[in-house]
Amino acid sequence: MSQIRFYNTYSKQVEPFEPLQAGKVKIYSCGPTVYSHPHIGNFRSFLMADLLKRFLEFKGFTVSHVMNITDVGHLLDDADEGVDKLEEVARKEKKDPLEIAKFYTDSFMTASKMLNIKPADSYPRATEHIPEMIDMVQSLIDKGHAYVVGNNVYYDVTTFKDYGRLSGNMLDDLNAGARIEVNAEKKNPQDFALWKHDPRHIQQWDSPWGRGFPGWHIECSAMSTKYLGEQFDFHTGGEDNIFPHHECEIAQSEGASGKKWVRYWMHTRFLMVDGEKMSKSKGNLYTIQELVDKGFKKNAIRYALISSHYRQNYNFTFDGLKAAEQAIDKISQCVFLLRQVTAEGDAVRDEVPAFIEKAINDFGEALSDDLNISKALAAVFELVKDANKLTDANTAEVKVILDAIERIDSVLGVLETSADEIPPEIMSLAEERRTAKLAKNWTRADEIRNELTAKGFVVEDMPGHDYRIKCRDA
Ligand SMILES: [Zn+2]
């Protein structure tokens, strides 16, 4: 068995994987900015985190996974200028930003469930962690990494020697580049805002620097520290997060703690649609629901989005989805036929454990190699081929084969039944209960819990005001 290894965006090399703590893995994933329905490109990145997590569990690790929900501070150009993505929608629709956030958080949760993504242990919301962000900003000021100008706080990038290591955007090159924004307040053009003052902003909080709102980057540093500690194993995201977002996160977290923060940075490449970049104007920003409405199966969408290597651009096409459906059918058909076997027997022929061991081993070895999914899937179809050849199998052999397929599917997640699906109205009720609890409206929270129970669902409370819903009999 070879060592598990991953490509680390930080070192730009494939590195052997050593967890910080034996047997345990901590993963932080940049989650959605909840101002629109997440599209297949977003989900390709969330599915990479899901595949990583499921694979590490397959390998016997206990995984803690945190994914943030950005509901304030993410400005349109990903940097310090422009309007807040969420507030722009709130203004257009004449709604409260939190209402917009709730609507699109529901949409994200529903689509994640449709794609059989294992829920994170918590989904901290930025607006519920303002005190933690203020503390971190204060600590950065105290340590000389940040400075206050009027009611704004900026990070002085020249105080952090490794700024640029992740993205390769070293300061000298950046400053020589054409796009230097004009902001007389900043000491250096690349300094970024930790706390911003803007009277037009709808969501505002009190801080030692006056009323304002946090920058986008500080939320991930503050919330990952709160839920995973000052050091953890993995940080995932889309390649568009590398700069400025993740570069700034490193400067903040390591600036505040003085410790090496994340061990492995993993980034998913862009998704193309029919060979073109995704864009609103082209109308190809498909959501999961839109694809389901077109008649595609949810597990086929999942399969298609995980079936190519995360470090390659993936070209999404409807033909690709149909091919994914056929691939799953091949496995399902094999499982179906095995389940029809009635020939009793407890003798297992030598070749059965032999091909199964080979398939499980090849599958694990392929994913150990920086999640080489194509090779892993080849091992699955080899197993299917061998199982199909065994036309005279007995029940004992069937059990061994089905157990192996189940073990493989604990990683792929494409065969699981849809029996445990949570309907959108149940998700919405659970969200309402969460809001009621936050407002300390215990009566309403209890009412909703009873209503959920009556409808056959159990809601379990989790850290960070989070919750999990399950079918009562699941
Ligand atoms: Zn982030």
> 250-306, pLDDT tens digit by residue?
999 999 999 999 999 999 999 999 999 988 888 899 999 999 999 999 999 999 999
CA of 236 to the centre of ligand 1 (A): 9
Examine the pLDDT at 174 and tell me if it is beyond 70: no
**Domain 5-268: which topology?**
Rossmann fold (3.40.50)
CA of 390 to the centre of ligand 1 (A): 49
CA distance 300 to 296: 7
CA distance 216 to 194: 8
pTM recorded for the entire structure:
0.88
Examine the pLDDT at 419 and tell me if it is beyond 50: no
CA distance 445 to 422: 19
* Average pLDDT estimate for 438-444: 92
CA of 80 to the centre of ligand 1 (A): 15
CA distance 153 to 80: 12
CA of 242 to the centre of ligand 1 (A): 9
The count of other CB atoms within 10 Å of the CB of residue 406 is: 12
CA of 350 to the centre of ligand 1 (A): 50
Instruction: State the pLDDT at residue 394.
Output: 94
CA of 220 to the centre of ligand 1 (A): 5
Instruction: For CATH 3.40.50.620, list the domain ranges present in the chain.
Output: 5-268
CA of 342 to the centre of ligand 1 (A): 53
**Dihedrals φ, ψ of 247, to 5°?**
-60, -45
Examine the pLDDT at 54 and tell me if it is beyond 90: yes
Beta carbons of 58 and 301 less than 8 angstroms apart: no
CA distance 68 to 92: 25
| DSSP type of residue 246 | I
CA of 31 to the centre of ligand 1 (A): 7
Where does the pLDDT of residue 101 fall: very low under 50, low under 70, confident under 90, or very high at 90 and above? very high
Instruction: For CATH 1.10.730.10, list the domain ranges present in the chain.
Output: 276-412
CA of 237 to the centre of ligand 1 (A): 8
Instruction: State the pLDDT at residue 458.
Output: 85
CA of 445 to the centre of ligand 1 (A): 30
Find the distance separating the first CA and the last CA of the chain, reported in whole Å: 35
Percent of the chain with pLDDT over 70: 96
CA of 145 to the centre of ligand 1 (A): 20
Beta carbons of 405 and 414 less than 8 angstroms apart: no
Mean pLDDT, rounded, of the chain: 92
* CATH class of the domain defined by 276-412: mainly alpha
Beta-strand runs (E) in 85-138: none
CA of 246 to the centre of ligand 1 (A): 7
CA of 471 to the centre of ligand 1 (A): 31
The residue type of 380 is: V
**Dihedrals φ, ψ of 469, to 5°?**
-115, 140
Instruction: State the pLDDT at residue 462.
Output: 75
Higher pLDDT, 331 or 171: 331
